Structure 1
Amino acid sequence: MADFPQAPSYRPDPAILKLGDAFYDPVTAADFPQTILRFRNDRAAAEIGLDPLDDNAWLRHFARFEPLPGNLPEPLALRYHGHQFRVYNPEIGDGRGFTFAQMRRGDGALLELGTKGSGQTPYSRFGDGRLTLKGGVREVLATEMLEALGVETSRSLSLVETGEALQRNDEPSPTRSAVLVRMSRSHIRIGTFQRLAYFGDAANMRRLVDWCLAELFGVEPEQDPVAQFFGLVVARTARLAAGYMAAGFVHGVLNTDNINVTGESFDYGPWRFAPAFDPAFTAAYFDHAGLYAFGRQPDAILWNCAQLAVSLRLISDAPPLIARLEQFEAQYRLSYPAPLLRRLGLRARDGEAGWRLKDAVDDALLATQWPIDRFFFDGFGGTLPAGYGPEWDRVRDTLAEHDPVPGARTPPYFAGEPCSMLIDEVEAIWSAIDRDDDWGPFHAKIAAIRQMREALDTAKVE
């Protein structure tokens, strides 16, 4: 394409084609009546050489889905099954999205562009294959906030309004429509393996394990590659669970088709951030039993890993899989301190100090119902201000076991108020768009999140 700016950092690599057509179906993107660019993430685009695109080219590729040079010649809807609220469903797959492109980052990591709201596929069932504009706005806000808080997550690359009036049963209709492009390491899910197990397809399951080790994890296979692969998934999903808890985040639908093997959070529907520490806090209005409540998320992710182990039994003995699964709790404990200490601008002096701090903070937040975001803002650097009563004495003691990073409270972010993403704020941002087409609050919130991220980046724990 003569008008495609060939940035040196653009390195196309449609590696998914190596798997073969047993894993996907070629599809055609919807032809939208309008394409109005509402959000483009140039910071993310720069990592894969797409930031030089002007807005017209951006819309051609990320709303009309003209193929990127040297990349996938057509979109691919991925095949998978999944447990949805622990009920197995063999009739799902990419129903309103597809894999559009893959490329290598500067460090060699394979990154993938996937869509949401890009039209019907063989797995749409009775759905229209579309995404509401509100749903797209919410996903951008979720991914920006989670990235800022150090959670492994997909990143919203593009949001385009598409000019269709959508009917929905759970929100006022007709409502505006959009198509989202997300960037992540992979869209291979636990449910991808469940589908292969369902059909008894051992050959393709072995092929997928080998592909994941080589393309997603960049490692050489060991003597037992299946157990090796499963151990990597367990470690990464345990880290994801720890990230959710440190961020005070509730995903809402932790089904096996929403857990990918790289341990990145993705596919944001009824998500919420908890205003205070409440293990029973839920995000989905339909989660009546609290299956995916805030405090149950680590157990939910562990259960999902167990379902992957069940699927892998098609090509593996049980004992090596059980041994890796039993490492989940240890990996969770190992992973928790980093996002916690990052939010507090601290470094631990010993391996268990971060876990002791976690216990103290959880207990105090639960007892006082203090706003989570307020505590991390006030406590950044390791000192609590006046107003935190005796219920916080144990937190003060454990904070003192850590060292503040240099210049912990110097960024401009700490001259203002804590950045949060509570449901009332999200609804207010959407209301301004819906009522007045006012995108000012949306862009202001993105700017505030990125200022917070820059401040927290000074406190990375290596």
Structure 2
Amino acid sequence: MKLSDVTLTHQYADLGGAFGSRTTPTPFAHPALIHVNPAVLQLLGIDASEAHNPDWAQLGCGKKLFKGSKPFAMKYTGHQFGVYNPDLGDGRALLLGGIEARGRLWELHLKGAGKTPYSRFGDGRAVLRSTIREYLAGEALTALGIRSTRALCIVGSDEPVVREEIETGAMLIRVAETHVRFGHFEYLFYTKQLEALQRLIDFVCQRFIPDTGDMGTSEQAEALLRFATRRSAELVAGWQSVGFAHGVLNTDNMSIIGDTFDYGPYGFLDDYEPAFICNHSDHTGRYAFEQQPGVVLWNLNALAHALSAFVGAETLRECLEEFQPHLINTYAALMRRKLGLTTEEENDQKLCADLLQLLADNRVDYTNFFRALAHYRGERPPSALLALLPPAGHSALRHWLEGYDRRLAHENSDFCRRNRAMRAVNPKFILRNYLAQKVIEAAETGDYRPLQTMVTLLQNPFDEHPQHEFWAAAPPESGKHMPISCSS
């Protein structure tokens, strides 16, 4: 499909005025195309050759609209750091519409598009820094097998935007199957728009839980909560397995279908640090890495409360009780794969927990350790692994490896098969914050080559890429714990 043939539909906007406001984007005066994502072009059924179409600069900043587009600012509310905020909504983004490709509907969302009725005191803009971070993060998690929104393109400008300092404005077109958040349901519940809430429940169920089509609202709402609970458990299990911290798990940042949503001050673990806080505004550690499972369950409770107009308290509790066992089972399966185990044994949880404690005690790089473990074949001394720990941790590592060796022997593990399997789930390349900052700093000077390199590596994180060893290295101390703000 050619870019000129793209025609958008607008099912969500057609739900009515209770759901948001028609809003015209505020384009940049001098837009400049920075990057088009070829993988997302393919996802949307757009010809690869269209990546070079000059119309992207206009489409990516709202100066020109796709055929059929009716830009729409979505209204929602949510709990931010545990406190309900009624004054939320798309304050700098517009839902452009949806595009059907290969039997699926994908929504396009223009971020940084200017003021909307929900901007409050904001300027409605995004900056190049935050736009690049979101662009990269969607590709990183998608390639790691974790559901995520993605981005189609980035458009920059010379427009000054004030954050902690003066930066330049940028926009991206975000792509997701839906942009409905937990906060959409909260908004309609707390404002007592129950007929609209019924419509929203039916809308989401019709799209994502097709066997609920003939159900009444109560049954649909129950099915929706069970669906969201399982999807959210799978999502956070994936985050914990790869060492990803979201940073701002407010209910307005939670996708109803369990996508990673609204990237801000996120961070991948460098050293394995359970209490890692990536958001410099999170003074209490509410959204620390190890707190994410509990926070996601807290958010599901908030969603359940928003559905309580149609579902009884006991049923809501039963739905939410599915979260913990599904989380534990999903996480355990993911960690067995990371360890190269193909069967399940009673002591696997302890084997994994002991390793994580070892990594935490010795401040070991999480990603690089598991990648190195993929190449371990029982050698003594285990030089490659020992090199990742300080000498004080060597004895503990040897002791853990003895138990690991016994566990591998129980299932007659073959090194070559295990090595291939572990390299396919333990990435060599992750999106480290200090590397993202190098990409951003280069882009701010007009050099987009590091951005292209990073996109390539993140889309293929399990490959060796021997010419790019620098991008796989653990950061220097100065590259750890970089202060990342919500304006990211």
Q: TM-score range by the shorter chain?
A: 0.7 to 0.9
Counterpart of 1:195 in structure 2 is 187
Match of 1:241 in 2: 236
In structure 1, C-alpha distance between the alignment counterparts of 2:16 and 2:377, rounded to whole Å = 56
Aligned residue for 1:92, secondary structure, equals: coil
Q: Distance in 2 between matches of 1:59 and 1:250?
A: 32
Tell me if the contact between 1:378 and 1:384 (Cα under 8 Å) persists in the aligned partners: no
In 2, distance between residues paired with 1:36 and 1:353?
56
Amino acid in the other structure paired with 1:349: T
- SS at 2:24 equivalent: coil
Matches within 5 A, 1:20-419: 20-52=16-48, 53=50, 54-64=52-62, 66-69=64-67, 71-72=68-69, 74-106=70-102, 108-169=103-164, 173-221=165-213, 222=215, 224-337=219-332, 339-340=334-335, 343=338, 346=340, 348-350=342-344, 355=349, 358-380=352-374, 383=377, 386-387=382-383, 388=385, 389-393=397-401, 394-398=403-407, 409=419, 418-419=428-429
Check 1:278–1:395 CA distance in 2 against 1; reply closer, same or farther (3 A cut). farther
Aligned to 1:449: 458
Cα offset for 1:429?
A: 2.2
RMSD over aligned CA atoms reads 2.8
In structure 2, relative to structure 1, the CA distance for the partners of 1:191 and 1:3 (3 Å cut) is closer
**1:288-336 Cα shifts (integer Å, max 9, x gaps):** 1000000000000000000001111122211111101011001102322
- TM, length-normalised to structure 2: 0.83
Q: How many residues align?
A: 441
Instruction: Quote the sequence identity (%).
Output: 29
Tell me, yes or no, if the aligned pair for 2:247 and 2:288 is still in contact at 8 Å: yes
Q: Cα offset for 1:368?
A: 2.8
Whether the 8 Å CA contact 2:2–2:47 is kept in 1: the answer is: no
Quick one: which amino acid aligns to residue 286 of structure 2?
L
CA contact (8 A) 1:361 1:395 kept: no
TM superposition shift of 1:441: 2.1
Query: Which whole-Å CA distance do the structure 1 matches of 2:264 and 2:414 have between them?
Result: 36
SS of structure 2 residue aligned to 1:110: strand
Task: Please list every run of 5 or more consecutive structure 1 residues that lacks an aligned counterpart in the other structure.
Answer: 456-462
Q: Structure 1 residues 62, 102: CA separation in 2 closer, same or farther (over 3 Å shift)?
A: same
Describe the SS at the equivalent of 1:452.
coil
Q: Deviations over 1:2-49 (max 9, x none)?
A: 97454xxx6854321452231121111112022211121111121222
Which secondary structure does the structure 2 equivalent of 1:22 belong to? helix
Residue range with higher mean Cα deviation, 282-291 or 368-377: 368-377
Is 1:421 the counterpart of 2:431? The answer is: yes
CA displacement at 1:432 relative to structure 2: 2.5
Superposed CA deviations along residues 354-406 of structure 1, whole A, max 9, x for unmatched, are 75654344233223321111112112367476134325324444455676797
Q: How far is the alpha carbon of 1:65 from its aligned partner?
A: 5.4
State the alpha-carbon separation in 2 of the partners of residues 183 and 86 from structure 1: 28
- Paired position in structure 2 for 1:431: 441
Residues 418/49 of structure 1: CA separation in 2 closer, same or farther (3 Å cut): closer
**Runs of at least 4 residues off by over 6 Å:** 351-354
Q: Does the 8 Å CA contact 1:336/1:355 hold for their aligned counterparts?
A: no
Structure 1, 385-394 or 330-339: larger mean CA deviation: 385-394
Quick one: which amino acid aligns to residue 429 of structure 1?
V
* Corresponding residue number in structure 1 for 2:475: none
Note if contact 1:81-1:192 (Cα within 8 Å) is conserved in structure 2: yes
Do 2:77 and 2:88's aligned partners in 1 also have CA atoms closer than 8 Å? yes
Q: Return closer, same or farther for 1:35/1:369 CA change in 2, 3 Å cut-off.
A: same
Q: CA deviation at 1:444?
A: 1.6
- SS of the residue 1:14 aligns to: coil
In 1, the alpha carbon distance for the partners of 2:356 and 2:143 equals: 21
The letter of the residue matching 1:368 is N
Q: Do the aligned residues in 1 keep the contact of 2:7 with 2:66 (CA within 8 Å)?
A: no
